[in-house]
């Protein structure tokens, strides 16, 4: 094949494959000597070059992918330091809490040091069902510590966390509840909810409402989102966590 013939073949392959490769790059991918690219085209060399290009374009290397997560923080990651940080309760969550007797007087804030307090916080988000389904991860991570056990009848070992969802003034609706289990007093730990299975219920609402009862302190709540990206892109694609209040 003449040199002109090789170049035409390259252009055709590039149009079909949708991607052109630099000649030197193609040669390097095939493990041929570095000096190959400096040799003159024609005769058997031209054929070898055409074969290398065709194999590279038709048999691309698989790209290793990973689920790369970013977190949006609600509250401040200050290791439960006082002063307590303010919580936000959506209108629908407030309606629900009032209806079940959780008045403002017994609601706890971030970094609550006491017992018998109900931590309540609403996380504003914007995704609908299809967007949540497209994430490789979507959930809530709670950073917690037990405030004590068997203190005047209170006990963090029987505490639980409840995820609800609300929109507008309509009462918040329950999504999933989990026991927090046994943890030593004062030792921080994480409890994570995977919320992808509930994308239909959550995706029709505007707030994810979090309730932790009633002898456990909450340092912060993180809304976790994950997207599939090439492994070497994860560090630069992750969004920094931000404190919304």
Q: Residues in the site for Ca ion, rule: CB under 5 A?
A: 76, 78, 81, 85, 110-111, 155, 158-159, 214-215, 219
Element (H, E) at 10: helix 3-17
Least gap, CB of 125 to Ca ion (angstroms): 20
d(CA 177, CA 164) in angstroms, rounded, equals: 9
Least gap, CB of 216 to Ca ion (angstroms): 8
Nearer to Ca ion, 60 or 181 (CB): 181
Nearer to Ca ion, 121 or 214 (CB): 214
Least gap, CB of 242 to Ca ion (angstroms): 15
Nearer to Ca ion, 21 or 88 (CB): 88
Whether the Cβ atoms of residue 70 and residue 225 lie closer than 8 Å to each other: yes
CA–CA distances in Å: residue 15 to residues 19, 148, 215: 7, 68, 65
Least gap, CB of 80 to Ca ion (angstroms): 6
Nearer to Ca ion, 169 or 185 (CB): 185
Least gap, CB of 173 to Ca ion (angstroms): 23
Residue-wise DSSP of 29-65: HTT--GGGGGSPPSHHHHHHHHHHHHHHHHSPPPPPE
What is the arrangement of strands in the sheet containing 173-179, beginning at the earlier edge strand? 107-108, 117-124, 207-214, 160-166, 173-179
| Tokens matching residue 80 | 């439960």
Whether the Cβ atoms of residue 54 and residue 6 lie closer than 8 Å to each other: no
Nearer to Ca ion, 95 or 155 (CB): 155
Least gap, CB of 149 to Ca ion (angstroms): 9
Give bridge partners of residue 153 from the DSSP assignment.
none
Nearer to Ca ion, 50 or 218 (CB): 218
């Amino acid at each position: 094949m003449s040199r002109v013939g090789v170049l035409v073949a390259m252009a055709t392959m590039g149009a079909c494959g949708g991607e052109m490769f630099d000649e030197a790059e193609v040669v390097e991918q095939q493990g041929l000597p570095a000096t190959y690219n400096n040799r003159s085209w024609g005769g058997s060399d031209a054929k070898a070059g055409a074969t290398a290009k065709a194999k590279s374009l038709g048999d691309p290397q698989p790209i290793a992918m990973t689920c790369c997560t970013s977190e949006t923080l609600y509250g401040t990651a200050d290791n439960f330091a006082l002063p307590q940080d303010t919580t936000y309760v959506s209108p629908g969550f407030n309606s629900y809490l009032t209806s079940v007797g959780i008045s403002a007087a017994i609601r706890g804030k971030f970094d609550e040091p006491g017992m018998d307090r109900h931590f309540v916080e609403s996380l504003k988000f914007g995704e609908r069902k299809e967007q949540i389904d497209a994430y490789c991860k979507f959930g809530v991570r709670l950073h917690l510590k037990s405030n004590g056990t068997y203190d005047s009848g209170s006990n963090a070992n029987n505490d639980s966390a409840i995820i609800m969802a609300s929109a507008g003034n309509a009462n918040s609706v329950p999504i999933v509840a989990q026991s927090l289990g046994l943890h030593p007093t004062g030792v921080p730990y994480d409890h994570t909810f995977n919320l992808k299975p509930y994308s239909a219920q959550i995706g029709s609402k505007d707030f994810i409402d979090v309730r932790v009862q009633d002898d456990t302190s909450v340092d912060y709540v993180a809304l976790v989102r994950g997207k599939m990206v090439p492994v070497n892109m994860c560090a630069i694609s992750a969004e920094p966590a931000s404190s919304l209040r």
